[in-house]
């Protein structure tokens, strides 16, 4: 069942949309919303995305791993693009 998941505290199966475990009172956070935020941040502010990703990963959310990986890729792109354009510039000047 895709729309069911287990309480991380007591293992009771929830229906999606429940906000609290009926057995132990564990509050279910809206991890899907946090995951969406994580994906958005991974594009805009990858460093924030990494933190959100680790947070989700710590909560056993599989999206956490993807958010971390995506954030790292975006961070690499942000760091490498100016570096790569510098090389092109040096290449250009060395021939002119
Ligand atoms: Zn529970």
Q: What is the pLDDT of residues 8-56, one digit of tens each?
A: 789 888 777 777 888 888 887 778 889 999 999 999 999 999 999 999 9
Q: Which of 73, 74, 84 is nearest to 45 (CA)?
A: 74
Burial class (CB in 10 A: 0-12, 13-18, 19+), 67: buried
In the chain, what are the domain boundaries?
Answer: 4-94
CA of 29 to the centre of ligand 1 (A): 13
Surrounding residues of ion ligand 1, Cβ less than 5 A: 7, 9-10, 12, 21, 23-24, 26
Structure confidence by residue, pLDDT tens digits, 57-74: 998 888 999 999 999 999
Q: How close is the Cα of 33 to the center of ligand 1, in Å?
A: 21
* C-alpha of residue 2 to centroid of ligand 1, in Å: 18
pTM: 0.62
């Amino acid at each position: 069942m895709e729309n069911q998941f287990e309480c991380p505290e007591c293992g009771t199966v929830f229906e999606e949309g429940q906000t609290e475990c009926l057995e132990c009172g564990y509050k279910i956070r809206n991890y899907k919303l946090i995951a969406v935020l994580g994906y958005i941040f991974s594009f805009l502010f990858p460093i924030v995305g990494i933190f959100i990703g680790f947070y989700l990963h710590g909560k056993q959310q599989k999206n956490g791993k993807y958010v971390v990986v995506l954030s790292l890729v975006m961070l690499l792109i942000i760091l490498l693009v100016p570096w790569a354009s510098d090389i092109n510039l040096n290449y250009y000047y060395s021939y002119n």
